Amino acid sequence: MKNLLLLFFLAAMIACSPQPEQKAPEVSEMTEEELQAYAKKLAQETIMVDGHVDLPYRMEVKGFMLKKQVEDVSVETEGNFDYPKAKEGGLDAPFMSIYIPSSYYFEGGAKEFADSLITMTMDVTTTFPDKFAPANTPAEIEKNFKKGLISLPMGMENGAPIEDDLSNVEYFFNRGIRYITLTHSKDNQISDSSYDTTYTWNGVSPFGEQVIAEMNRLGIMVDISHVTDSAFYDALRLSKAPLIASHSSCRKFTPGFHRNMSDQMIKDLAAKGGVIHINFGSTFLSKESREKFEAMDSVMMNYRAETGLKRSDSAYQAFAKKYALENDVYADVQIVADHIDNVVNIAGIDAVAFGSDFDGVGDSLPKGLKDVSMFPNVIAELLKRGYTKEDIEKICYKNTFRVWNEVIRVAAES
């Protein structure tokens, strides 16, 4: 009996004693199948933010705005983003891009158009409340994540809807906008565009200086994707809070493409606490892909002229797809990781995040990253390169949350 009691006592002591922590799996020892499974597990267990997804404009192009309804993204669609794909890929908080084409700045109606896209985005959350939810802060994203809901924070791509009325900055903040891309493909009333050659302001305009100050006061992130280098440096000087590039990549890999950021700009962005969100479009990732797409554009233009087909015609689309595959125009997931490596090497792990531009870069997405279900592929590639679980968490959400929370803090102290 004494021996039996002693055995019970020893068993109880062992059960109550601290157990050694389980070591993270060694990636180098994994098979490819095990690595993919681990990458998918990380993607689904970690909050994942994407700085830029163009679902709202996609719905407008498909005519849902005119129908005064939303696309059924609760089920599988032909687009890059929907609920099943997001769940498969572990995407929890895609920033919905309230994209305003530059034509609205010149022809009028920018504010009304932005309002319509915002309303349609919010309608997604009310139409499918068991799947999507609005989110205006990192804390709200965390709360939604625990409930299994996909958050739909919003950023406005192009400051044109602010028009010439500074009070519209607060108006859009109250409507849920949490970053504003200062301009888009043409110079506007706020800033010069990297796609333009006019250099209207040689940077940020005097009114743009007021807009940035108001964004700081309210807690809206300043997004410098699309701006000229001089406008970037103006914004960096003017803003009291860190900046983001919501969907840009590294100019190192695309020489002469000023829509991407130079290494020095990335370093300077990071030095003030900012983050670059890497764009997945092939033409943003690779000089070779850019050249191949330019050649393809010429071929497609001639093909349309010869056949009389439109871009929307199925025969044209089939020919374009065949040409793209035969001529290997696409970048790949490894090049996305190269861009992340470059940012980490020159500015540190705290300076980089995802900003895919899904549904916004057409049929130019790289092999292995054709829609949001494929996020684990880039995580697997990063794991192969020695990135740790903690590194992955920073890229997926912690870096973006840090900037966003700092913007909120600066606003609270204004």
- Looking at the structure, do residues 339 and 213 belong to the same domain, yes or no? yes
What is the band of 312 on the pLDDT scale with cuts at 50, 70, 90?
A: confident
Residues 241-271 pLDDT 10s? 999 999 999 999 999 999 999 999 999 999 9
What is the band of 110 on the pLDDT scale with cuts at 50, 70, 90?
A: very high
Average pLDDT, the chain: 94
Domain that holds residue 312: 288-330
* Boundary residue ending a domain (297, 330, 363): 330
Q: Is residue 366 part of a domain?
A: yes
- Looking at the structure, do residues 145 and 98 belong to the same domain, yes or no? yes
Q: Is residue 82 part of a domain?
A: yes
Instruction: Tell me the pTM.
Output: 0.92
CB atoms within 10 A of CB 112: 10
* Boundary residue ending a domain (304, 330, 356): 330
- Looking at the structure, do residues 306 and 221 belong to the same domain, yes or no? no
pLDDT score of 23: 55
- Looking at the structure, do residues 348 and 393 belong to the same domain, yes or no? yes
Q: Decide: residue 164, CB within 10 A, 0-12 exposed, 13-18 middle, 19+ buried.
A: exposed
List the CATH number of the domain containing 200: 3.20.20.140
pLDDT score of 396: 98
- Looking at the structure, do residues 402 and 311 belong to the same domain, yes or no? no
* 3-class SS shares of the chain: helix, strand, coil, % to 5: 55, 10, 35
Q: Is residue 380 part of a domain?
A: yes
pLDDT score of 9: 47
For residue 248, give the 3-state DSSP assignment.
strand
Q: Decide: residue 369, CB within 10 A, 0-12 exposed, 13-18 middle, 19+ buried.
A: buried
> What is the token pair recorded at 39?
């990458």
- pLDDT > 70: what percent of the chain? 94
> What is the token pair recorded at 392?
């992955």
Q: Is residue 12 part of a domain?
A: no
pLDDT of residue 54 exceeding 60, the answer is yes
